[in-house]
Amino acid sequence: MAEQFDLVVVGGGPGGYVAAIRAAQLKMKVALVEREHLGGICLNWGCIPTKALLRASEINHLLHSLDQYGFAADNPRFDFAKVVKRSRQVSGQLSAGVKGLLKKNKVTVFDGHGKLAGPGKLSVTKDSKPVAEIAAKHIILATGARARVIPGIEPDGKLIWSYREALVPDTMPKKLVVIGSGAIGSEFASFFLNMGAEVTLIEAMDRILPVEDAEVSAFVRKSFEKQKMKVLTSAKVQGVRKTGDGVAVVVEVDNKVQEIQADRLISAVGIVGNVENIGIEGTKVKVEKTHIVTDEFGRTGEDGVYAIGDLTGAPWLAHKASHEGIVVVEAIAGNHPHPMDVSNIPGCTYCRPQVASVGLTEARAKEAGHEVRVGRFPFIGNGKAIALGEPEGFVKTVFDAKTGALLGAHMVGPEVTEMIQGYTIARTLETTEAELMHTVFPHPTVSEAMHESVLDAYGRVIHI
């Protein structure tokens, strides 16, 4: 006989485990099914370990820039295996922490693969062997996504890497090609560049970081190239050939074909939802472009079945998944939550320089019919940024000229991934330029550039 729960969550990533904990807080009897690692891809093979690696690359960059701060050190070097080991230890620590949180909140965890087995039912298996039969009125699918594979560029674990292999490399490549310049591709390109590799970044679109504001994309490209990264845009990869201990990438740019030799290749060209083998066949769950279709409260076409996170499409971000999980659980509990507004979900890319944004780009705002006022402030005018030795970058704000509504904010430079939340709160509160201009920002901080950008949009900038 199936064990009965109020809610079952399939997938223990940042969407699934947060949903389970919130449901437990609301006095539901909750089960969570996870087949591999609590914390999901983000904690184990994405957000967290990449940030640990990027921190190491920042330190390596600083060690080779000590003269700028009046220091000197002879032959600074690193142990690449230890750099990678530390990133895995960080992930392990946090995964154990998630296990503890679930236990604290009395969430029953099933170690295995969850699959719908009829209305309100779920089967759990491990290595094809039955583990449990469980039932619940409400089932949340949070099975996440995986790297998209391009035919002919399939990761082999040695010469061609997905993000997963790139996180546990067996060697530090001297020459590296990265295909795809979204957040994942740009972060890995930046990491290996700052660790000393010769990096070529290839993008099919006409600019890198194509979802960002065009000015931000242009600035990051210029910065990457200043750091000696080779950047190819509007580039078509025609083929990849393995050459014993390396790869040869044939790419066409401006109607000219060139071959790039490298030790390793990273493919970072998007993701596909994990919709297979979860039992949705024969149900009313609808799938479009490998992602499950839901309404604003995560409901699918099948009664009692919900979906959240990367499984449901863009933006593919851990914090979006977590908030979605809470919205869905609150709706199940009858608490009438506000639907999530994806335009208020901040995006962050942790390359060097960092990139962060929320809301509409200038181009998208104009396409939507807004008359805009745009403010900009460069970090070269910010005292704290200069003192840090990181004066490159800028803040850009986009306002509706008629209402003063903050339509979007775009930042590139030091610690902008920490600061973007200020603009995210402003958008959530529907703050106008008046409140932002009358907010007092502490001095000296890098965040003062956020204030100055707002002032600039209205002809009141002080320090430029």
Is 462 annotated for ligand binding? no
Kindly report the number of other CB atoms within 10 A of residue 260's CB atom: 18
Is 185 annotated for ligand binding? yes
Half-sphere exposure of 224 (CA within 13 A, CB side): 34
Q: Would residue 37 show up in a list of annotated catalytic residues for this protein?
A: no
Is 114 annotated for ligand binding? yes
68 CB-contact burial (10 Å; exposed 0-12 / middle 13-18 / buried 19+): exposed
Residues linked to residue 256 through DSSP beta bridges, in sequence order:
253
Is 40 annotated for ligand binding? no
Is 183 annotated for ligand binding? yes
What SS3 string covers 198-266? EEEEECCCCCCCCCCCHHHHHHHHHHHHHCCCEEECCEEEEEEEECCCCEEEEEEECCEEEEEEECEEE
Match 């509160």 to its residue by tokens.
Answer: 429
Per-residue pLDDT tens digits for 372-427: 999 999 999 999 999 999 999 999 999 999 999 999 999 999 999 999 999 999 99
Q: For residues 55 and 133, is the Cβ–Cβ distance under 8 A?
A: no
Token couple for 204: 């099919």
Is 310 annotated for ligand binding? yes
Distance CA 428, CA 255 (A): 46
CA neighbor of 321 nearest in space, from 3, 7, 102, 22 = 22
Q: For residues 391 and 438, is the Cβ–Cβ distance under 8 A?
A: no
pLDDT for 46 equals: 78
Nearest 5°: phi and psi at 2? -70, 140
Catalytic residue chosen out of the listed positions 64, 319, 338, 443: 443
Terminal Cα distance for the chain, rounded: 72
Distance CA 344, CA 427 (A): 7
Q: For residues 148 and 272, is the Cβ–Cβ distance under 8 A?
A: yes
pLDDT for 388 equals: 95
Q: For residues 161 and 355, is the Cβ–Cβ distance under 8 A?
A: no
Match 């509990």 to its residue by tokens.
Answer: 333
Which residue ranges of the chain lie beneath pLDDT 50? none
Q: How do strand 354-359 and strand 406-413 relate by DSSP bridges?
A: antiparallel
- Tell me the CA distances in angstroms from 450 to 84, 387, 457, one per residue in order: 35, 17, 11
pLDDT for 95 equals: 87
pLDDT for 40 equals: 75
Distance CA 91, CA 356 (A): 23
CA 338 from centre of chain:
23
Is 91 annotated for ligand binding? no
Is 186 annotated for ligand binding? yes
pLDDT for 47 equals: 84
297 CB-contact burial (10 Å; exposed 0-12 / middle 13-18 / buried 19+): middle
Is 182 annotated for ligand binding? yes
pLDDT for 326 equals: 97
Structural domains in the chain plus CATH codes: 3-147+272-342 (3.50.50.60), 160-269 (3.50.50.60), 353-457 (3.30.390.30)
CA 129 from centre of chain:
34
pLDDT for 2 equals: 82
Full-model pTM: 0.94
Half-sphere exposure of 222 (CA within 13 A, CB side): 10
Distance CA 399, CA 407 (A): 5
